[in-house]
Structure 1
Amino acid sequence: MSLVAERSGLLEPLREFVKVYRKPVWGTCAGMILLAEEANRTKKGGQELIGGLDVRVKRNHFGSQTESFSTPLSLPFLGDPTPFYGYFIRAPIVEHILPPTTPASSLENNTADTVTAPSKKPINDVAASFTSPDEVRILGRLTPSKLTTTEEDAKLGITSPSEGRIVAVEQGNCFGTSFHPELGSDIRIHKWWLEKVVEKVETKRRLEAES
């Protein structure tokens, strides 16, 4: 995705859309990787990032295409206890929530293949109000199970839902999911996101009118 965006001249416009104008944007799977400020296990030669979410993601956490799976998820932000089935296809996970004052190079697990998104300032105070460095919200974790737990997870002792790998996050104008909601028939996340977009647009208009 990043290669296509770069070759087609869309990479910088997308960065401006997300980080300068702070428009609402949702990235799923590879899209969440693009929205991350940092990414590990990048392909040979690295990967361009857009940024917007103060997280570090790990690409292909569960392995290759043959390790793809679907599993029920508990997503309290939907306001409905009914499990939501997520489809994980060569999926990433959120490895770290990045502290705003900590240099990336000082964090554990920083490796030679870690890439970082370029920084960009919001166009004005209204755009800046849509996010702050310390408000990444964890919206979903993957419940550890035989299906979803990798050898690395087992070594780290990840055994309870509260310790499960992070697979959904929100910060300001950005929303990211490791899984593909569009592959199932459950539209609750899409409904929730559309409502958030409307809310953000209305808030932006109000703030602009007041400024």
Structure 2
Amino acid sequence: MTAQPSVGVFALQGDVREHVRVLADLGVPAFTVRRPEELARCDALVLPGGESTTMYKLARTFDLFEPLAERIRGGMPTFGTCAGMIMLADRITGGIDGQETLGGLDITVRRNAFGRQVDSFEGDIEFDGLADPVHAVFIRAPWVEDAGEKVEVLATITSGEAAGRIVAVRQDNLMATSFHPEVGGDDRIHRYFVELVKQS
């Protein structure tokens, strides 16, 4: 795919508008996805930050869960941020009983790993493939407890008590970050994803 892809943003819950705005500013046709017929228009998808337990329940309610999982299994490029990372993980720790994920990333994610809302923080991290550090905003963020051998680690925390924790990954056409690249005005990670989509 060489033309600008059409990228949907899962819009049943979470910080949807911010992702749509960043993608639109990059010249990417971006639209919200609430129904299976909207998902069918997607070349790629963003799963935004929000509340992962609410996201999967609403996806079930709106008959979007299985179509999402099927498209991801079929190779649709998908980018998950914060709660979206949890939704793409094959395994969760710290989730609620019966919590479901769409899966696709061979990772174990710890939900709310950095603590509660009051423990939210931001800082600069090195991101593989980008020349300069990314200013990352973590809000009730997960981290990756372990990653399978096919998972490429894109970023880790480099200082403090969480040093060494994985906060960005890629596996084939899927990528995910613990933090929120849609805030702060830095579009490089979205550009990275769009290039991934074009190469798929």
TM-score (norm 2): 0.70
TM superposition shift of 1:6? 1.3
TM superposition shift of 1:184? 1.1
Describe how 1:1-211 pairs up with structure 2 within 5 A. Answer: 1-19=55-73, 21-43=74-96, 45-78=97-130, 80=131, 82-98=132-148, 134-145=149-160, 149=161, 153=162, 158=163, 164-200=164-200
TM superposition shift of 1:135? 1.6
TM superposition shift of 1:76? 2.7
**Distance in 1 of aligned mates of 2:58 and 2:159:** 34
**Distance in 2 of aligned mates of 1:29 and 1:66:** 16
The structure richer in helix per residue is 1
The structure richer in strand per residue is 2
TM superposition shift of 1:7? 1.3
TM superposition shift of 1:46? 2.7
Divergent runs of 4+, >3 A = none
**Distance in 1 of aligned mates of 2:138 and 2:72:** 25
**Distance in 2 of aligned mates of 1:190 and 1:83:** 15
Q: What secondary structure does 2:129 align onto?
A: helix
Q: Write out per-residue CA displacement over residues 163-196 of structure 1, whole angstroms, 9 at most, x where no aligned residue.
A: x100000001110100000011111111111111
Percent sequence identity is 45
**Distance in 2 of aligned mates of 1:188 and 1:59:** 25
The answer for unaligned runs of 5 or more in structure 2 is 1-54
TM superposition shift of 1:197? 0.5
**Distance in 2 of aligned mates of 1:4 and 1:183:** 24
Give the letter for the 1:176 counterpart.
A
Bigger Cα Rg: 1
**Distance in 2 of aligned mates of 1:199 and 1:25:** 13
Q: What secondary structure does 2:196 align onto?
A: helix
The answer for unaligned runs of 5 or more in structure 1 is 99-133, 159-163, 201-211
Alpha-carbon contact 2:124-2:136 (below 8 Å) kept: yes
**Distance in 2 of aligned mates of 1:192 and 1:42:** 29
